[in-house]
Every structure is written in C-alpha cells, then in structure tokens.
A and B are shown apart, each in its own frame.
Chain A
C-alpha cells in the first residue's frame, strides 16, 4: 500500500485480556496509532495462521496478535499453543519474503492500556522502517 496513511496493521485481540486492554487504552484516553484495525477473537489460540496469511494477502503491512499473558489464558492454555504456532509461522513468512518483523505476538492484560498503546506505536514505527511490502500477495 502507499505509505500516505501509514502502514496498515491488522490486530487480532483476545476477548478476555487484550481487547479489554485496548478498551482500557481508549477509556483512559491514551492515544495510539489509528492504523490498526482491530478484530476481536475469543483467544489468541483461535488465530489460525490462515487468518494471518490472508491478512497479508489482502494488503496488511503488519499483523499483531495479542493475548493474555502466559498462565493467564481464559482457556488455561490457548496462548501457549498460539506461541508455538507463531514461532513457526514467522520463519516461514520470512522464507517467502514477508519479513518476520511484520508478524508480532504481544501479551497484553486487561489492565495494560499503556502497554497496548505502546505496542501499537512501536509496531507502527517498525513497519515504517521496513517500508511498504515489496509485493502485495
């Protein structure tokens, strides 16, 4: 995409922690880049790699997956599975030319509005540094 509006970020936030964390950032009037499009999912373990790959295909410059801290998952262990999955997806993306920095996994609890806004801001900075995707798709 063109960089006029800044990089486009798709954010998959878990319902129980990170979505509430983003909400906290909002209600506390903390600012964070408007480039992120938030999609609420039941758990970070729900985020199928297909959703991530599909986001990149549809033109996302970066994908942020955020879930509860390890040990705090609402479903006890969904985020542990997510962590393994994305640890393996990142090198695969990198291998086909989508820099692995473009996929981020963050742990954001419901009270961490500040952490959420910082995470999105630093992700945006990183994506601006990387520049637009070489080729859509």
Chain B
C-alpha cells in the first residue's frame, strides 16, 4: 500500500496533474511520521503510510489555494476538504485527494508511539474517506467503537467538579495558540484573540483569560470541527481540547442531526434554522 501511494504520487507529478503531493515521510527519530511535500517524482520514494501518520495534511491546502495539489487523506482528514470547499476556502477541482482507508492511528510523540489507538478514533464514524479521487485500501482490523468514554465520565461529575477539572486544565495553558495554528477550521485573517481594539482577551496568561480563549475557540468550531484531533496532539501542555470539541459535536448531532464535513452541501447548523424548534431548550 505504501508502493501504491508512491506510484500514484509519481504518476501525478510526472504527468503534471499537480505541482505538489503532500504526504507523510519518516521523521528523523526513525519512529514517527512527518509531512512531506513532494514537488518532483524522485521525492515520491520517501512517502510512507502507517499508523503513525497522524497529521491532518488537508490543513496545508489553505496555504496552497489555487495551486493544483494532491494530498493524502485519512477519513477524518477528508472531511476537511468538504468543510473548506463548503466554506469557499479551496476549490475542489484544484485538489486531488489520495484517500486511504483507516484502521485508526496511534498516539505519536517524538521518539515514541503507543500500542493503542488515539481515543478520538473510538468515536470516528468513518472507515473510508468521504471524498477522494483515488482510493488506497489499507489492510487492518478496525477497532470496536468506544463512543466518547471520557466525555461521559466528565458529564457524570457535578458542576463544581467539572469547574475544578477545567480550572486545572486551563491554568496550564501558555496560550501559544498551537491549537489554532494547526486547526483546519481556524483560518480567520484576524483571530478574535489577536484583536487589540477591543481587546477581547487580555494578554495575562491566567485561568480566566485562558478560559475565554478555550471556550470561544471551541464554540467557533461548533458544527465545524471534523474531529482530526490535531489541536490536542500539538498542545505542549496536554490539555484535552478534544473533550470540548467532542462535547459540541455530540450536542450538535443530538440537536440538529448534523456532523460536519460528511458532504460539502448540507448547511451547517448556524447557517440555518427551523421556525419551530428549541423552545424547550431556551
């Protein structure tokens, strides 16, 4: 299956269909993966594909607007393409999606990987990418679905316990905004948190300010988060950011029966409404 990726990349690059193929190569620690941008057929030999390929490469499409680009996408990453096409950020015909089926990915940090899968893979609804131009089947048993176990644990707590839990998480935040930079849904030219007048979020790195950041970051992704888990992966202080996203994902699915990125046509929940709804939730 690795050969299939390399062959397809070589074919696309030598035919001139795309200028660049974005995929994975082995990082210099010899264990984990890192993104590879291949511009020539020779570079295609370096592509790899395994369970350490955790990154959402479709995010890079935002930096290659208007340029024909091929990208290797797992099912979760493929939802990015639908999201960005729907939001008029990228053109579908400029993207060649090399879809790979996914039995789940492991936690990968520099120099080490886990045996077990990432927890977000347990709530993933997909095995096959929702959008692709060429599909590569990766052998491997899919793990059973686990739903959102951590979410349920937190929901069972009292508000006071939840408050303490999140205070502990938010007080570690150094507001490096890596979660924003890596997120395929966070592409505003000026983020609310960078605005100086009015200054919505103070520059003080303290739990109250951090909480405003995290709540609004999560809320801006409500009905848009495609659950790639990149925010949580890049967090240098290991804040379980996906819990906030998953909470909203679960609520959006419950209220509006909507899961973002599964197609590029359905209107997201905040772009529409029904006159008769939600009077009880108010």
Contact = CB atoms under 8 A, between A and B. Distances in A.
Chains A and B form a bound pair: yes
B155 A49 contact: no
B160 interface: yes
B218 A92 contact: yes
B215 interface: yes
A53 B282 contact: no
Interface residues of B, number: 40
Given A49-B219, A94-B159, A88 B255 contact: yes
Interface in B221-262: 222-223, 244, 247-248, 251-252, 255-256
A83 interface: yes
A131 to B, nearest CB: 10
Contacts of B281: 87, 90
A91 B247 contact: yes
Interface string A108-137: 000000000000000000000000001111
A53 B216 contact: yes
Contacts of A85: 270
Interface string B206-219: 11110110011011
Interface stretch (A5-13, A20-28, A34-42, A95-103): A95-103
B212 A57 contact: yes
Interface in A55-105: 57, 70-71, 77, 80-81, 83-99, 105
B244 A50 contact: no
B203 interface: no
Contact of A87 (B192, B215, B219, B282): B282
Contacts of A93: 215
A87 B255 CA distance: 9
A96 B166 contact: yes
B282 A92 contact: no
The 9 closest A-B pairs by CB, nearest first: A97-B163, A137-B208, A80-B273, A97-B162, A87-B281, A96-B166, A105-B282, A87-B278, A95-B247
16 contacts: A53-B212, A53-B216, A53-B219, A70-B275, A80-B273, A95-B155, A96-B162, A97-B159, A97-B164, A97-B166, A97-B167, A99-B159, A134-B163, A135-B207, A137-B206, A137-B207
